[in-house]
Chain A
């Protein structure tokens, strides 16, 4: 049976699509057959972040409406044999995502032998987002160390715990916290919530901390999941997070400020 992993946050711009691409690529790298679905109907972007934007012919909605088969719509990644992408529709209405339709696509993917189905949720709590949450076995809550993001994450946790299929059937969704855009220097200066603060407030098990990194923009510029940039801090942090998701015990990296000399601390100035 396939495992459905929903990447969600409530708030926009915190790194859901970057994280979905990284997690999907990481799972595929680890040898698991993985499909990643963009649930942001009307505003698709996963295709761009994954570098497959020119190969989209059919999409998630065309499969649900019966215009195309799942096989026609799935885009096989050229870098990772185990990875496939299902793009969102750019034109259709978000109400095109029906519970039955989404459920059938997930079932078909499972029947095709996919082990992991990553659902890249849109921001907000409207249809696309609730559909992505509904079928989750696991949820990765992407949170920035910032008040509105933490609050929205808590709201999403509430929805998961009451409205998801698993919750309604008396079970629970496995929750994982992924803190992104973390700046250890600012945390050290008391200018940013620490990872401990965020974990305490949300009371969710920490899956990883991704540092604020130039590598993320560079990766999306070139359509390359950042986890494949194995030299970069963000790439390594995502690799650790995926390994932890798969049950490995790895210490956190990039969560303390790099050692700086006294002079460079003066010169770095206040900002």
Chain B
């Protein structure tokens, strides 16, 4: 493999792949870290309340926090079963 390197033939290196994967992963993980500590608890409790009235699965409720300028938006998505 190194012989090709000598003649300047380079395909995308594994180090480049590592850098790109890390950049995506770490920015995602930092986003989660910046959220308040109560978010997982809030999600769990909301789920319990929703479940009292509608039969939904755990994965049908999602909650996220987005920052838009000065405001923080709490977004709650509940997918209700049909019928």
A residues near B (Cβ < 8 Å) are: 146-147, 150-151, 154-155, 158, 162, 187, 189-194, 197, 201, 262, 265-266, 268-270
Q: Are B26's CB and A190's CB within 8 A?
A: no
Knowing A190-B16, A191-B14 are in contact, say whether A151-B22 is a contact too (CB < 8 A): yes
Q: How far is the CA of A192 from the CA of B14 in the complex (A)?
A: 7
Known: A266-B3, A270-B2. A197 touches B30 (CB 8 A): no
A151 cross-chain contacts in B, Cβ below 8 A: 22, 25-26, 29
Given the contacts A154-B29, A158-B33, A269-B2, A189 and B13 also touching, CB distance less than 8 Å: yes
The reply to whether B18 and A193 contact each other, CB–CB distance below 8 Å, is: yes
Residues in B lying within 8 Å of A, measured CB to CB: 1-3, 5-6, 10, 13-16, 18-19, 21-23, 25-26, 29-30, 33
CA distance A150 to B22 in the complex (A): 8
A193-B33 in contact (CB<8A)? no
Inter-chain contact A197/B14, CB cutoff 8 Å: no
Q: Give the docked Cα–Cα distance between A194 and B26 (Å).
A: 17
Tell me, in angstroms, the Cα distance from A65 to B34 when the chains sit together.
37
Name B13's closest neighbour in chain A (CB-CB).
Answer: A190
Chief secondary structure at chain B's binding surface: helix
Give the docked Cα–Cα distance between A154 and B31 (Å).
12
Contact of B19 among A189, A201, A268 (CB under 8 A): A201
Whole-angstrom distance from the CB of B38 to the nearest CB of chain A?
14
Q: How far is the CB of A86 from chain B (nearest CB, A)?
A: 32
Task: Please give, as numbers and ranges, the residues of chain A lying within 8 Å of B23 by CB-CB distance.
Answer: 201
Contacting residues, chain B, for A158 (C-beta < 8 A): 29-30, 33
Measured between alpha carbons, how far is A187 from B22 in the docked complex, in Å? 17
* A193 pairs with B15, CB closer than 8 A: yes
For the complex formed, measure the closest distance between the CB of A149 and the CB atoms of chain B, giving whole angstroms. Answer: 10
